[in-house]
Structure 1
């Protein structure tokens, strides 16, 4: 990159009187820097995108420059080019004279050594604008001192002036932002849920004074319990099951257990109904097995007594085969709770024809055991196959082998923030794809802002939720019986086109260096599949009796996309908390090094010799971390003066408040 020509700060005003005569100083400004900024943004849209967050029209010393800046921004907002001709047309023939005429716009471009250095000049312009603010404040303070004001009133006015100027940018710096790749986290879009679930979840959240994200996430988990293993959805090029892995992250004291009990009550009731209905069937099967055992024992004894009798041998073989086929079904179980272990979940999936869920207000134990807390080695195979709906074969010493044709495991648990951060301590969770399967919600706690007198939930809303979910679970459960015909949902043609459009729009987000999902492709690669699953669940929740008989509409898919956007933002925050982004981790290391050592300037090679030693093989490996620091306002690049015709390595300045704002 070509370094900018050094620009001298002009402190005289050829076109106006000095600001604040009592100071004897002209207002600080640099006409050349302003010209270079304006020329650069007319030459390059990328330059405008870089400097626009830094400047507004009030930062320009010359009113003509402020008018040109406004014209460039207005054109860009309309998607129009901002070259000198269109800028001149935007300003208008009558007003061109006030800026020096149309030729002046071309002069601005001719003053630009390299548009890539627009940020350098913009920081200079902003710094001088701040300096003028300080000068103006000083003038007002002098004027206040000359008044015959009440001392108390004078102190208050002086304090207000000082607070205003110290609250402005220091040396032209914007306020830095926390190091994270995630945007501000959105609230759960509760309106995307089926009406009966949305109303109840909102009421539960209000009654318990908890974030609606918790109740909303558990409502989705409940729908996944009903549909998982019973219904699949065809997305055109592939098919998805309808189970989900949902994790809600909240610190202690947020009444997670109360929300959990309220949202899962209909599932427990449905499980009780299934157990009651299965009781006679299980009893009959148990009796039939005992009869088969007795028949096998009797015929085997007869065959042993008469080994030469082919009829007795045939009878014994038939009786043994009948015994092997005399299966006693397990008692129905829809889900397990806090005591779920990997081995128990695996056995339950085999018992329940591949359909099972883990729902718990505290699910840290499950991930702890999966990470090898007791065994010493991670065991996450059941999670990987259970999420994908794959076949599972389980073989254990001393026990019969088990086979699951299509495992469908649903997870809906709450975790403490510390447990979430600890997931990064097990590399296999990331390497083998478990983290990429989690839909994480990280709502803000309401502790300290809760209403002690919330309104009760209207009885009809509770009744509707419980009856509807109970009916949905029982009706869809019958679809998953071994002898039932599998049900596969499809999309309308419009919705199918939207799926493909979303695939195309998402792909650039994985590109290294530019994509916001480039550091979490394991999660992003499953995003569209998760949205397809969500669309199927919303569809089933809206068409309770015959949802599998109608295709999923575009409107339903769009609501699923909104949920996908919500989970994407929260997944980015979760990956930051886990420390899954090397650029963020390296940037934090640099900030801590600079803060601890009072570093005000550094180069990339300083980092390779210091805080990031052995973490990068070449200077360009540091670009992602340096980009994070710049975009978050903690550093800014100041190109060096060329030496011998070749630019030297750029130097980075650190924010003046760094030592007071450790990250």
Structure 2
């Protein structure tokens, strides 16, 4: 076997990612190097989703070696020492992103992944056990990374090496076990006594703990030494082994204590009212925006997600008048966004939105003051034309004027460019008012609201008329006509609307459960963010936003708003950026039929939103490139072209919004699942004696209100949150397999 198989993601450096869709067959160093430029795993998982329960198979094992066992350079493990420890075993070395870099106050040292070849393994427990046996044989690898769902960070320019050998790692371990078995009754000769006894002492301590019985077993080994060691030497060896056991093994979170062998392991329970989500990746924003977001977050004591998402909306409203982006020749997207931040009433939503939007209000004020005279002249001229038209209407009726004169004035009025006060943002408005404001503002506007009352308005809470057409059409710049009772209808050719809403969870639940909103796809147009609450940790004394940080942020936003909007500029993709987007799209498309099927309408728009975000980031970074060279070289006289790194950052934001959307649609958006989970959990807790396992049929007997089809999403939720776990079942013989059995986490009975 000279090949191994890895499974690559579409991102690099994203710990929250669980999707590894690209199967890569490794035949040599070159194919390996290409695969390691993104995060990767050595295991095939069900639905390409990384988790222990989804394990299918693997033909290689990867372990992590960070050389954190010593600060003495002479003790560091390198590739040669790995070869000595595993003679005649073939493996690859992939040097980590922190290789030979100082980290956490420690000096630079070799850091790498060892990719061992192995025969195909289809049993998860056997796979994890083999990793444990490798650690037992070579305790310098990271013992916190021995489970079967471990992923490994890719590197930008992968550095790899290959060591050839006749054996796979499982064959080596098997041979080693056989050798150790044969050596059990053989003497431990001089020259090997100290090392053998030290290694054996560590193994005894790990398996049986620090007990008198363990020490007695250790002393028995001295009987095989030829000649036996002195008591003082034995005590010294035991003391050294004990020190290693206490300082390295016993404190490891993955260490299974002697009393816990054979006991089911459980992850920590996540309260049903909580679920930790990935935080907004602020590092993808340009420094001017990133620094201001950090400062606002500190000053208002709000989650960084709030300021980060608002910043994207600010960029969208600032650029949508001037820019669009081409994914390819026949695919053009506007740069507006619909985003929604969901937070409880006490989360200071108004404070952070007011701080972020000040730059827009300041620009509006300055612009309107500077153009007041032009606007006044325009209005006088317009009103003069209206008066002229009204007079001609009467004159035509009396025969004092020709109808052609009236037609000429009406034509002039229709073509007149009437200047209005610049308005970039509005709050909660009716569809009719929104259409009118869009018409006045050259069909470009934004809605910024810290309450989300716009949904009450468009859902007919006040007028009993549901009208969401303008919100649907303005998302993609489609033609829309808004009819007005007793007045002329308003036609918008290419409306561009950005929406930022900061709402409470109850508002989101109402939105998700509105059949018209979901049926016509309004919910699917929003990017969702559910920040982790900072309530309970907020400080009264905070750092003020510095003038330098504020001025740089204002400079960037103003530079975009001041651009000439008479002509639309199209941002294009570099070849490398297009390849990254295409790779993400192709892998993501598969998921639309599987685990994302229930949010298919939303997920179907994610690639388009990623494209829009890449355009926003490209312009905000203020770096132009030569459109002809296409080599990534900056050119101040060139065009705004999306580069590979920017597209990867946009994809990272897309992954952020995907995780939050899943939670918004599945948890917040359908609160009944969580309520049913609580009902079932309380029923289990009330049972006497305490249950250790349960079936769906048992649950139906305890909670008769549930039908069979009601249970799967509820049980999935209880498993995801750590309350239940599917019991492994090995089919024997023939006949119909048993139904699913769920183990019950004993921690639910802990009332303290």
Structure 1 residues 11-26: aligned runs within 5 Å: none
Aligned match of 1:473:
561
Aligned match of 1:334:
424
Structure 1 residues 576-591: aligned runs within 5 Å: 576-580=666-670, 590-591=680-681
Q: Decide whether aligned partners of structure 1 residues 537 and 286 sit closer, same or farther in structure 2, where only a CA change above 3 A counts.
A: same
Aligned match of 2:326:
234
Q: Does 1:282 align with 2:372?
A: no
Q: Decide whether aligned partners of structure 1 residues 649 and 191 sit closer, same or farther in structure 2, where only a CA change above 3 A counts.
A: closer
Match of 1:526 among 605, 610, 630: 605
Aligned match of 1:124:
none
Q: Report the Cα distance in structure 1 between the residues aligned to 2:391 and 2:311, rounded to whole angstroms.
A: 54
| CA contact 1:234–1:491 (8 Å) conserved in 2 | yes
1:539-572 alpha-carbon deviations (Å, 9 max, x no partner) = 1111289798231111211221222222222222
Q: Does 1:446 align with 2:538?
A: no
Q: Shift in Å at residue 234 of structure 1? A: 0.5
Report the more deviating stretch, 398-407 or 248-257.
Answer: 248-257
Report the more deviating stretch, 254-263 or 521-530.
Answer: 254-263
1:259-315 alpha-carbon deviations (Å, 9 max, x no partner) = 2232211211111233234433332333223332343344444444448xxx83432
Q: Does 1:312 align with 2:425?
A: no
Aligned match of 2:3:
none
Between structures 1 and 2, the one with greater helix share: 1
Aligned match of 1:354:
443
Structure 1 residues 244-283: aligned runs within 5 Å: 244-283=337-376
Aligned match of 1:89:
171
Report the more deviating stretch, 551-560 or 311-320.
Answer: 311-320
Q: Does 1:214 align with 2:306?
A: yes
Unaligned runs of 5+ in 2: 1-54, 60-117, 153-161, 184-206, 215-255, 625-635
Relative to the length of structure 2, the TM-score reads 0.62
Aligned match of 1:409:
497
Q: Decide whether aligned partners of structure 1 residues 51 and 207 sit closer, same or farther in structure 2, where only a CA change above 3 A counts.
A: farther
Aligned match of 1:345:
434
Q: Does 1:47 align with 2:150?
A: no
Q: Report the Cα distance in structure 2 between the residues aligned to 1:189 and 1:549, rounded to whole angstroms.
A: 27
Unaligned runs of 5+ in 1: 1-36, 102-131, 141-163
Q: Decide whether aligned partners of structure 1 residues 303 and 510 sit closer, same or farther in structure 2, where only a CA change above 3 A counts.
A: closer
Structure 1 residues 40-439: aligned runs within 5 Å: 45-48=121-124, 57=132, 86-91=168-173, 93-98=175-180, 171-175=263-267, 177-178=269-270, 184-236=276-328, 237-306=330-399, 312-326=402-416, 328-337=418-427, 339-360=428-449, 362-376=450-464, 378-439=466-527
Q: Decide whether aligned partners of structure 1 residues 586 and 462 sit closer, same or farther in structure 2, where only a CA change above 3 A counts.
A: same
Q: Report the Cα distance in structure 1 between the residues aligned to 2:702 and 2:399, rounded to whole angstroms.
A: 87
Aligned match of 2:580:
498
Give 3-state SS (helix, strand or coil) of 1:204's partner: helix
Q: Report the Cα distance in structure 1 between the residues aligned to 2:713 and 2:524, rounded to whole angstroms.
A: 22
Superposition CA RMSD, Å: 4.6
Q: Shift in Å at residue 226 of structure 1? A: 0.4
Q: Report the Cα distance in structure 1 between the residues aligned to 2:211 and 2:503, rounded to whole angstroms.
A: 51
Q: Decide whether aligned partners of structure 1 residues 423 and 660 sit closer, same or farther in structure 2, where only a CA change above 3 A counts.
A: farther
Structure 1 residues 641-660: aligned runs within 5 Å: 645-658=735-748
Q: Report the Cα distance in structure 1 between the residues aligned to 2:528 and 2:432, rounded to whole angstroms.
A: 24
Aligned match of 2:622:
543
Q: Decide whether aligned partners of structure 1 residues 430 and 324 sit closer, same or farther in structure 2, where only a CA change above 3 A counts.
A: closer
1:79-111 alpha-carbon deviations (Å, 9 max, x no partner) = 99xxx983543317454333689xxxxxxxxxx
Q: Shift in Å at residue 470 of structure 1? A: 1.8
Q: Decide whether aligned partners of structure 1 residues 560 and 614 sit closer, same or farther in structure 2, where only a CA change above 3 A counts.
A: same
Q: Decide whether aligned partners of structure 1 residues 625 and 179 sit closer, same or farther in structure 2, where only a CA change above 3 A counts.
A: farther
Give 3-state SS (helix, strand or coil) of 1:359's partner: strand
Give 3-state SS (helix, strand or coil) of 2:168's partner: helix
Between structures 1 and 2, the one with greater strand share: 2
Aligned match of 1:33:
none
Report the more deviating stretch, 364-373 or 388-397.
Answer: 364-373
Q: Report the Cα distance in structure 1 between the residues aligned to 2:732 and 2:645, rounded to whole angstroms.
A: 58
Aligned match of 2:665:
575
Report the more deviating stretch, 195-204 or 590-599.
Answer: 590-599
Deviating runs (4+, > 6 A) in structure 1? 39-44, 50-56, 72-80, 135-140, 164-170, 179-183, 544-548, 581-586, 640-644
Matched length: 544
Q: Shift in Å at residue 213 of structure 1? A: 1.6
Q: Decide whether aligned partners of structure 1 residues 139 and 94 sit closer, same or farther in structure 2, where only a CA change above 3 A counts.
A: closer
Aligned match of 2:106:
none
| CA contact 2:726–2:740 (8 Å) conserved in 1 | no
| CA contact 2:326–2:570 (8 Å) conserved in 1 | yes
Q: Report the Cα distance in structure 2 between the residues aligned to 1:96 and 1:575, rounded to whole angstroms.
A: 54
- Higher RCO by CA contacts (8 Å cutoff, separation 6 or greater): 1
Q: Report the Cα distance in structure 1 between the residues aligned to 2:717 and 2:606, rounded to whole angstroms.
A: 24
1:417-442 alpha-carbon deviations (Å, 9 max, x no partner) = 33333333323333322222222222
1:459-498 alpha-carbon deviations (Å, 9 max, x no partner) = 22211212221221122xx31xxxx222211011111111
| CA contact 2:282–2:308 (8 Å) conserved in 1 | yes
Give 3-state SS (helix, strand or coil) of 1:178's partner: coil
Q: Report the Cα distance in structure 1 between the residues aligned to 2:552 and 2:541, rounded to whole angstroms.
A: 24
Structure 1 residues 596-607: aligned runs within 5 Å: 601-605=693-697
Match of 1:511 among 593, 605, 611: 593
Q: Decide whether aligned partners of structure 1 residues 174 and 373 sit closer, same or farther in structure 2, where only a CA change above 3 A counts.
A: same
| CA contact 1:353–1:404 (8 Å) conserved in 2 | no
